Amino acid sequence: MIYRNLDECIIDLEKNGHLVRIREEVDPHLEMAAIHMKVFEAGGPALLFENVKGSKFRAVSNLFGTVERSKFIFRKTWESVQDVIALRNDPMKALKNPFKHIGAGLAAKNALPLKKSDGMPAAMREINIADLPLIKHWQEDGGAFVTLPQVYSEDPEKPGIMNSNLGMYRVQLNGNEYELNKEVGIHYQIHRGIGIHQDKANKQGAPLKVSIFIGGPPAHTLSAVMPLPEGMSELTFAGLLSGRRFRYSYVDGFCVSHDADFVITGEIHPGETKPEGPFGDHLGYYSLTHPFPVMRVHKVYAKQNAVFPFTVVGRPPQEDTAFGALIHELTGSAIKQEIPGVKEVHAVDAAGVHPLLFAIGSERYTPYQEIKQPAELLTIANRILGTGQLSLAKYLFIAAEDKKPIDTHQIEEFLTFILERINLRRDIHFQTNTTIDTLDYSGTGLNTGSKVVFAAVGDKKRELCHEVPGILNEIPGFEKAALVMPGIVAIQGAAFTDYTEAQEEMKGLSSSISEKGALPSCPFIILCDDSTFMSADLNNFLWAAFTRSNPSHDIYGVNSQYENKHWACDNVIIDARVKPHQAPPLIPDPAVEENIKRLFRNGASLGGISIS
């Protein structure tokens, strides 16, 4: 089905058992987010909140809560979009079999945005920010946020819709120092297109005009998060995926989507920022308060019977996990075209995406040599860490297939493959004082930290331990050693105080292990606050180990040394204890959790979902 708007999608989902209505009044202050998270966790349906306290507008969440539902939404256009992207990556396919790809050509006709006569669409009326459902997600959030916005800007040097950027940058609607109805905060991170546009506008000494679209066909929302191949506009992709051209006009010089449920227009002026945040974010922690651009609101518009879509982010997996799966399926092959030698890249969702990246590459430089070592893999690793949002990766584990295929999505098997083969004295490579994800507070400042590459190729070098080696239970000052997976042991230590103390603690730990003899079967040792938590579940390990450590500061080693500035060790130790400078984790409000149980009693409202 081709959806012309969000309401048509909602009706279709309900008709097919993918959506339930919540008619009881629900508070946008923490309650709506808590309900959403319970339903998402249960694999439940999309939710239409028909009675939002303090607003005349309805709200919908969990539209993309499962990959299956997302594919159902895009069932009419999914294959044709895949075909178009494949043809862009390999145009020879069309030449070799033109009749097979006629459908791709027909689909591509929807890619070109359609300009309507300038002026406000008849279906829209002017409202205020205060009229929107002001949804606050976590108790320490700085205010209400738009979590599924489509933030539109144009290149000041080459204005026009074909030189535009559409991105999903969170929007703070109230709180902090924002003047309600007149200002909103725009939080965008590094490596985002809007930053290039603002930089150009600043150099011209002019404000950047911005339009924030909320709602509309679901394809428009997904398009705002797509890491598209260079030269493919997000709005052309929106047309492809929705099966209908993106319709727009200009009102007071601002681009207005004719299909969006809400549109906020305004300007970002050079040098104007205000404190934005905190915000409970997708790494599972709060992103803290920092100065970000403030947008002076020009006008706010809403369709009659508009629906406000939202999602809730927190420790993964959450609804944005389905986004990631869809993106990978649609564009996963594009990375092979962009980076020669790459076979597969997997940003690990359980670790918050950017902190941990797995990759498989080729190793073809010296096939004549009997002893294999990473060579082409290191070239590929550098390309990965210099490519778009992949450059935000903090830990990169990269391997080359040898005698059997490997799969980065089989996480334990992939890590096992690496740990069995890596030469810890040769194949660990650091980048210090560099950029990391804006939301990652493990580093030395906002956007600032380090990276490390672990590369492996060739035959097995070691057998991995399948139980805790005895010597790890005999180290003074450390306790409760627990196996995370073969080759990785978590060990519990005292709470982190500062790096001077931590370095002394690590010297003691390393020396104690070294004195007791070699430990080749355990290449990774994770120092943590709670080894029971760290080892209870692989996802716990992925989340805590890689979001709570900064490679340059928190990686130590048994018998570590430098040789010609290259660091080497016998066993890697990662200090994954919580540090005082890191952001606090997200913890649900117990009172809110108790209050929302009224909606789940006997499964009456939410399709049989029950919570205790």
pLDDT tens figures, 224-282: 988 765 556 789 989 999 999 999 999 999 999 999 999 999 999 999 999 999 999 99
Cα(161)–Cα(152) distance, integer angstroms: 9
Neighbouring residues of 572: CB distance < 8 A, sequence distance ≥ 6 = 424, 428, 523, 524, 525, 555, 556, 557
Cα(141)–Cα(35) distance, integer angstroms: 17
- C-alpha distances (whole Å) from 400 to each of 278, 364, 454 are 41, 10, 12
Give the pLDDT confidence score for residue 592 in this predicted structure: 96
CATH number, span 470-575: 3.40.1670
Q: Are 542 and 356 in contact (CB under 8 A)?
A: yes
Neighbouring residues of 259: CB distance < 8 A, sequence distance ≥ 6 = 4, 5, 216, 217, 220, 246, 247
Q: What is the pLDDT of residues 415-449, one digit of tens each?
A: 999 999 999 999 999 999 998 988 899 999 888 99
Cα(401)–Cα(362) distance, integer angstroms: 7
Q: Are 525 and 574 in contact (CB under 8 A)?
A: yes
287 beta partners: 279
| Structure tokens, 87 | 């043809």
Among 258, 374, 341, 362, CA closest to 6: 258
Q: Are 538 and 584 in contact (CB under 8 A)?
A: no
Determine the number of helices (DSSP H) and then strands (DSSP E) in the chain: 18, 30
Q: List, for the chain, all residue ranges whose pLDDT scores fall below the cut of 50.
A: 91-96, 98-102, 604, 612
Pairing of strands 479-485, 488-492: antiparallel
Q: Are 251 and 349 in contact (CB under 8 A)?
A: no
* Rama region for 383: left / alpha / beta (φ>0; ψ in -120 to 50; rest): alpha
Pairing of strands 448-456, 428-435: antiparallel
CATH of range 6-310; options 2.30.110.10, 1.10.230.10, 3.30.300.10, 2.40.50.140? 2.30.110.10
Q: Where in the chain is the domain with CATH 2.30.110.10?
A: 6-310
Q: Where in the chain is the domain with CATH 3.40.1670.10?
A: 319-456
| pTM (predicted TM-score) | 0.91
Burial of 15 (C-beta count, 10 Å sphere; 0-12/13-18/19+): exposed
Give the pLDDT confidence score for residue 548 in this predicted structure: 97
Answer yes or no: CATH 3.40.1670.10 is held by domain 319-456.
Answer: yes
